[in-house]
Structure 1
Amino acid sequence: MIDRLEAARALDDIENITRRVRQSQIYRLSSLLMILWGALVVLGNLVTYLTPIYADKAWLSVYVLGIAGSVVLGATEKARWGMGSFDVRSLLAFVMFFAFGFFVERIGHFGPREMGAFWPIYFMLFYCLAGLWFGIAFTIFGLSVIALTLIGYVFIGAAFPLWMAVVNGVGLILGGLWMRRS
C-alpha cells in the first residue's frame, strides 16, 4: 500500500511526464513546420533577389505551398500521435492570419523592401506569443529574427532579400533543427 503523500508524488510525476511528452510533440511538429517554411522562405527571397518581377508570384506560391504543407504535416502528426495538432480551427487561424497581413500590407502601401521586413516581423510576433504557452525557445527565436530583420532593413541595401533568405529562411531551418533536439 502507498500512502497519500506517495500517491500525490506519483500523480505529480505522471503529470510532469505528460506535460513533457506534449511539449515534445509540439516541438516536433513545430520543428517540421519551421523547416518547411524556412526552405520556402529561402526560395521566395532568392526569387525576389534574382528576378524581382516574379516576386509576387513567388510569394503567393510560398504561402500556398506553406499552408498546404502545414495542413499535411499537421494531419500526419495527428494520425501518428493521435494529437489534435491541426484541425479546421487551425486552418481558419492561418487564413485569418494571412488575411490580416494582406490587409495591413494593402492599407500600408508597402514597397517591396517594407514587405520584406513586415512579413517576417509579423510571423515572428506569433512565435514570440507562442513562447508564452509552449516554451521560451519560441520567444527567443522570434525576437532574434525580428532584431536581425530590423538590422538588415536599416543597414543592408539591395542585398536585403539575400539577408532575409539567411536570417529568416535559414534561421527557420536551423531553429527547426534545434527544436528537434529539445
Structure 2
Amino acid sequence: MYEWALGKHMREFTCVFDLRFRELNLTKDPLSLLDLLGDRFRHLKAVLKDLLASPGSLLFVLDGLDEFQYPLNWNAPDKNVDVDSKVSMSELKVALIKGSLLPESSVILTSRPSTDAPKRFFQRCCMVLGFEKDQLMEYTSKFYKDPKVSESVYNYILGNDNLFVLSFIPLYCYITCTALAEFYSVENQEEDA
C-alpha cells in the first residue's frame, strides 16, 4: 500500500479499501457495501458513489479471513447484490470475493494457511512461508540445549494463541524463545536443586 501511495506500483487503482475481518465481526447486519465503506472510510463518504461507479479502479484488501466469526457459504448460488443491497456481512463478503458484487474490482484476501480459503475465485494465490506446528517444535528443540526447557517453552507457546500466531514468523519465534529462555532456564535449575 505504501508503494501504491507513492505511485510506484498498481497505478491503475484510484482507491484501496483495507477491511479487516476482525473489525467486521463487530459490524451489525444487515448492511450494504456503501454503508460499510461509508462507516469505515468517513473521509470518502461524499465521493463513495462516484468511486464505486468505476469498480475497475478499486482494490479491496480483505485481511484475516481466519478471524471472521461468521460462516461463509462459498457454494451458495450468487445473489443479485449491488452496492446498495442490505445483506448480512457473510453474504456481502462472499459476493465481493466471488465477484458477483463489483466484478471488475480487484480483491486481495489474506488468511493464515490453516484456513480453507476459496482459491478457485482468485487468479493467484501466494503463501508467506513461516513455521508450522512441527517446525516450531523442531526450532525450540534446537534453540534450547535442555530438552525439558525446550518442551516447556514449546508447550507454553502452544497454550498461548497470541504467541503461537507470532511464532509462525521465524523472527518472532526467535524473540519469543530468547525472552522465555531465562525464565525457563531458571525455573528448571530450581527444580533440579
Higher strand share: 2
Higher helix share: 1
Q: Which has the larger radius of gyration?
A: 2
TM-score in terms of structure 2 length: 0.24
Which structure's relative contact order is higher, taking Cα pairs within 8 Å and 6+ residues apart?
1
